[in-house]
Amino acid sequence: MTFTHRHLLGIEHLRPEEIVTLLDRAEDYVDLNRAAEKHGDALAGLTQINMFFENSTRTQASFELAGKRLGADVMNMAMQASSITKGETLIDTAMTLNAMHPDLLVVRHPHSGAVDLLAQKVNCAVLNAGDGRHEHPTQALLDALTIRRAKGRLHRLSIAICGDIAHSRVARSNIILLGKMENRIRLIGPPTLMPSGISEFGVEVFDDMARGLEDVDVVMMLRLQRERMDGGFIPSEREYYHRFGLDADKLAHAKPDAIVMHPGPMNRGVEIDGTLADDINRSVIQDQVEMGVAVRMAAMDLLARNLRDVRGAA
Ligand code: ASP
């Protein structure tokens, strides 16, 4: 099997063939999730703990459902971001967790790198559910599966990622994944929301939607991440929507069959027009949510196999 990792911490650690293995496995789970009986046993007997130090609705629900559908005992631990500002506390958390013998640990944390640190201290498989501005690997994988199903391939596509790139772990994981699969990536947004040194990632940068969207196959919108902004990055939300909000007029610059994506939660009327977001002929936003459960089932299935192999060999 071409997926030999102990943890899923970021897309940066995955090879293209591992990404394909994971997406192929997720396809099986799409079918299972659409069946009347939705139970598998890949995680039977295993304990999954979800630790979210930052708010989450869909990602936490998606991981919970994924674990339950595969037979794991799933527990959600409510964590307050304020209670773990010190590295030492995170290590204490790891010690507490080790004593509970989890097999899969799903972690979201406001600090980049915190999930990696935790992974070094616990005796189980760790899945990064988003760490600061760093990575959100299952989001990029579910986006990849959505694109592959809509476009019939995941290479040589022209993909625009638009909006608040600077604060977005979703953008970072997607840039890495889509780059590894040899797509052409365009980033569109105001210069204040573009990370410095981004062109080293082999992307094209635009500050004009009409030019940036020209003939793209995929338009990925991002939320304005106000909680990560500490100053005036944009003049006003109205002005932002006018220049960078996706509506039918701006989308007309993309290919006629271009799809529209958004990781959620959406700010309707800020980064995207609400009617367009709901247009099932263009928007695949609901498909992204559906693919999310399947991708998380696949990721936990593959990691659990590796965990069992390691434990069996010990
Ligand atoms: N839900 C995604 C994340 O956790 C995107 C967002 O919050 O805008 O990064």
Q: pLDDT tens across 139-194, in order?
A: 999 999 999 999 999 999 999 999 999 999 999 999 999 999 999 999 999 999 99
Ligand 1: residue whose CA is nearest its atom 4: 130
108 lines ligand 1 (CB under 6 A): no
Ligand 1 and 136: CB distance under 6 A = yes
Q: For ligand 1, is residue 133 a contact (CB within 6 Å)?
A: no
- Given a contact cutoff of 8 angstroms between Cβ atoms, the answer to whether 164 and 225 are in contact is yes
Of 91, 156, 146, nearest in space to 119 by CA: 91
Q: Which two tokens stand for residue 259?
A: 């799809």
Q: Can you give the pLDDT at residue 101?
A: 94
Instruction: Determine whether 27 is exposed, middle or buried from the number of CB atoms within 10 Å of its CB (0-12, 13-18, 19+).
Output: middle
163 lines ligand 1 (CB under 6 A): no
- Distance, in Å, from the CA atom of 55 to the CA atom of 76, rounded to the nearest integer, reads 13
Residue 188 to residue 210: CA distance in whole angstroms:
10
- Whether ligand 1 lies within 6 angstroms of the CB of 170 is answered as yes
Ligand 1 atom 8: residue of nearest CA: 223
Look at the chain and count its residues. Answer: 314
Residue among 106, 136, 165, 296 whose CB has most ligand 1 atoms within 8 A, to mutate: 136
Output the CA torsion sign for 170, 176, 178, 184: positive
Give the pTM: 0.96
Q: What spacing in Å lies between the alpha carbon of 307 and ligand 1's midpoint?
A: 28
Task: Establish whether residue 223 lines the binding site of ligand 1, counting it when its CB lies within 6 angstroms of any ligand atom.
Answer: yes
**Partner residues linked to 221 by β-bridges:** 162
pLDDT for the residue 227: 81
Percent of the chain with pLDDT over 90: 83
Residues 6+ apart with CB under 8 A from 222: 161, 162, 163, 164, 165, 168, 170, 171, 262, 263, 271
The whole-number average pLDDT for the span 221-226 is: 92
Max CA-CA distance within the chain?
A: 60
Cis status of the peptide bond prior to 263, with omega within 30 of 0: no
How far does residue 48's CA lie from ligand 1's centre (Å)? 22
Atom of ligand 1 nearest to the CA of 54: 4
pLDDT confidence of residue 71: 98
The CA-CA-CA angle for residues 308, 310, 314, to 5°, reads 115
The response to whether residue 137 sits with its C-beta less than 6 Å from ligand 1 reads no
In this predicted structure, what is the pLDDT of residue 80?
67
Q: How many CB atoms lie within 10 A of CB 281?
A: 7
313 C-alpha to center of ligand 1: Å? 38
Contact assessment for residue 89 and residue 111, using Cβ atoms and an 8 Å cutoff = no
For ligand 1, whether the C-beta of 250 sits within 6 Å is no
pLDDT above 80 (res 88)? no
Q: Find out whether the beta carbon of 130 lies less than 6 Å from any atom of ligand 1.
A: yes
| Residue 263 CB less than 6 A away from ligand 1 | yes
pLDDT higher at 216 or 236: 216
294 Cβ partners below 8 Å, 6+ apart?
26, 27, 29, 30, 32, 33, 66, 142, 145
Q: Binning pLDDT at 50, 70 and 90, where does residue 29 land?
A: very high
pLDDT at 228: 80
119: pLDDT strictly greater than 70: yes
CB 41 within 8 Å of CB 67: no
Give the confidence band of 212 by pLDDT, cuts at 50, 70, 90: very high
> How much is the average pLDDT of 15-26?
98
- Which residues have C-beta within 8 Å of that of residue 4, sequence separation ≥ 6? 18, 306
Residue that is written with structure tokens 């790139």 in the block: 165
Average pLDDT over all residues of the chain:
94
